[in-house]
Structure 1
Amino acid sequence: MSTLWVIIIAIIALIAGVALGFFIARRYMMNYLKKNPPINEQMLRTLMMQMGQKPSQKKINQMMRAMNNQQQQK
């Protein structure tokens, strides 16, 4: 009977640890991506030049603002 309780407690602890680890890792990645966005102005400027557009600073600022607004709505 005692061995059964040890096994049950070990399984419950394992499940709780996996769930807790998942949520901690998720929160860490969300904060990391918020502080370090994947696309910056230089990358956007390079992308627009590759598409054959001459990027003005106004257009880049507008696109960055739109991307930040979209990120905040999620």
Structure 2
Amino acid sequence: MATWIWILIVVLALILGLIGGFYGARKYMEKYLKENPPFNEDQLRQMMLQMGQKPSQKKLNQMMHSMQNQANKK
């Protein structure tokens, strides 16, 4: 077989591998972040305390709800 055919096959395999890897990694990360959200109530409470705010349970619930809604929209 001619050398240019092998070069074409390698380039096509590389391009398909990059595209497949990108979408596979993206799908995996979306699933991971949906199952393991980056923030929980304790972390939000600590963050609010560090900013000098006194977090009430109502405020924490509102923030968690808004973060979940934002994650679901994506």
Say whether the fold is shared (TM-score over 0.5).
Answer: yes
Distance 2:29 2:20 in 1: 14
Aligned-pair CA distance for 1:68: 0.6
Distance 2:23 2:7 in 1: 25
Aligned-pair CA distance for 1:52: 1.6
RMSD: 1.2
Unpaired runs of at least 5, structure 1: none
Q: Cα deviations across residues 4-32 of structure 1 (Å, max 9, x unaligned)?
A: 11111111011101110111011111111
1:61 aligned to 2:61? yes
1:9 aligned to 2:9? yes
> How many residues are matched?
74
Distance 1:59 1:68 in 2: 14
Query: What's the secondary structure of 2:53's corresponding residue?
Result: coil
1:35 aligned to 2:72? no
**Equivalences for residues 44-55 of structure 1 within 5 A:** 44-55=44-55
- What residue number does 1:19 align with? 19
> Could you tell me the TM-score, scaled by structure 1's length?
0.90
Q: Which has the higher contact order (CA 8 A, sep 6+)?
A: 2
Runs of 4+ in 1 over 3 A off after TM superposition: none
